[in-house]
Amino acid sequence: MSAISVMMLICFVGGPGNHQQAQPVVDQFLRHVERSAGWADKSSSGAFFSRRSRCVTFFEQKKPAVVVLDLASYLALRTRWKLSPLAQMGRSDKKRYFVLVRDGSVKKLADLKGKKVVSTIRDTKFLSKIVFGGKLDAAKHFTLSFTRRPLKGVRKVARKQADATIVDEQVMAHLGSLKLGVKLVPLHRSAKLPGLTMTVRAGTPKKVPAQLRKALPKLCKGAGSKLCKTFSISAFLPAKRALYKRLERKYK
């Protein structure tokens, strides 16, 4: 076994559960990573947070070598934290965002100028540059309100308490099963995007990313399957550097 100690932060803003609930799954996953990467048993540690502020506090205090984070958090924090993408959790086109409205209420994004739009994404720069492809300034174009629960936004639109809501592909997949009483339709679709990304902090010993890279095909198998199922992914895949560079340029 390799004599190495690695700390991992999983930062999934808006993700399922909380720090305490997730810790047993994180610990189980880390034991699986150790076996897959050839590290000593219990040589790694880590934590999961679903609020960006908690992620930032943990990172500043602990300086983890490996950080798994959602795309918005990666783009916002990568320079400050000196992160390089190593792997993506799932396909590079896994994630997509939709603007849902009541059928027949508006015809184009311009019609939502000044209107109430509910979002689980608080990063308005990410909304403007990535979700809307730089076509509008979300903070100025909409009257935004935020929620941690995506279905709350969906129900507000259905009840005419909001004009639109921004949801992801998982909510869209279950939209038909919700008893809303009205039809909601997508007014806008974002480009297809990567979901969670595994990154490595600058200054981390080179053997850490090398060992993780070799272990990627095993990480969603066996004991790792529970965490992967929690995050709705089937595999860790090598990061497409050109894709991330393109997204980084858009986010500037």
pLDDT tens, per residue, the chain with 252 residues: 456 789 999 999 988 778 998 899 899 999 999 999 999 999 999 999 999 999 999 999 999 999 999 999 999 999 999 999 999 988 888 899 999 999 999 999 999 999 999 999 999 999 999 999 999 999 999 999 999 999 999 999 999 999 999 999 999 999 989 989 999 999 999 999 999 999 999 999 999 999 999 999 999 988 888 878 887 788 999 999 999 999 999 999
| 117 φ, ψ (degrees, to nearest 5) | -125, 130
pLDDT at 1: 46
To the nearest 5 percent, what fractions of the chain are helix, strand and coil?
Answer: 40, 25, 35
Q: Give kind and range of the element (H or E) at residue 199.
A: strand 197-201
Does the pTM exceed 0.85? Answer: yes
Q: Which CATH superfamily is domain 6-92+193-251 in?
A: Periplasmic binding protein-like II (3.40.190.10)
What distance in Å separates the CA atoms of residue 116 and residue 142, rounded to the nearest whole number? 6
Considering the four listed CATH numbers 3.40.50.2300, 3.30.1220.10, 3.90.79.10, 3.40.190.10, the one that applies to the domain covering 97-189 is 3.40.190.10
Q: Give kind and range of the element (H or E) at residue 189.
A: strand 184-189
Residue 221 in contact with residue 43, Cβ under 8 Å? no
Which residues of the chain form CATH 3.40.190.10? 6-92+193-251, 97-189
What distance in Å separates the CA atoms of residue 143 and residue 25, rounded to the nearest whole number? 38
Residue 44 in contact with residue 204, Cβ under 8 Å? no
Q: Pick from 105, 100, 57, 106: which is nearest to 81 by CA?
A: 57
Task: Give the CA angle between residues 24, 25, 27 to the nearest 5°.
Answer: 65
